[in-house]
Amino acid sequence: MHSMRRGYTGFRVTMREMTVYGVSFDLVGKQPIVLLKTADGDKVLPVWIGHPEAASILMKLQGQEPPRPQTHDLLADVIAQLEAEVVRVTVTELRENTFHASITLRRNGDEIDVDSRTSDAIALALRAGAKIYAADDVVEESGVVFEGDAAELESQMPATSLADLDPAEFRRFLDTVSAEEFAKTLAEEAAEHEDDEDEDEDDEEDR
């Protein structure tokens, strides 16, 4: 689905509606990837994100509710309490290997565009029930055509950055890491980080 909206420069920009296809994990770079898929096609946009944002997105996709509001839950609640709504979030451009996004809010009939990290925008959109879009040139430039059954894909993607990404390898990588495996990996990464911090503290005490 395509739509038109006015960009920051005043020119009309073509947007494509996206859906959150899932969250995977780059086992080489040990970095999460959120996969956005075109709603009316077979292109997938891979976005490398941080661990906290990945956990937040994955939790919402799995229908889990935290005992207390987390950052993106809190932001969605604040927006609602101010009688505003999230109209849409948009992946606006890819600059220096980093995706940029905006969150469009509506309050009292006025729309406001707020600059955002793509991962935060996606996590908020999932909580607010807002649509996700990507600029058509971003999809054309960075999207990967995906066809076939992802469950049959066997190998993992060795690339660790957008610059190293090979479309054929990416297609083999899609959906090879389940939500459970990803959550387990996140827990292991957090435990390793805590162990490293404990070792650093012990070393300082020994000095």
Tell me how far apart the alpha carbons of residues 131 and 85 are, in angstroms, rounded to a whole number: 12
pTM: predicted TM-score of the whole model, two decimal places: 0.69
Domains of the chain: 2-177 (3.10.690.10)
How many Å separate Cα 70 from the centre of its chain? 17
pLDDT digits (tens, 9 = 90+) for 26-76: 777 778 889 999 998 888 999 999 888 988 998 898 888 888 888 999 999
**Contact partners, residue 181, CB within 8 Å, separation at least 6:** 25
> Quick one: pLDDT at residue 157?
34
**Least confident range of 25-29, 134-138, 184-188:** 184-188
147 or 177: which carries more pLDDT confidence? 147
Residue 45: closest CA among 126, 114, 115, 101: 101
> Quick one: pLDDT at residue 134?
97
Return the amino acid letter for 17.
Answer: E
pLDDT > 90 in the chain, percent? 41
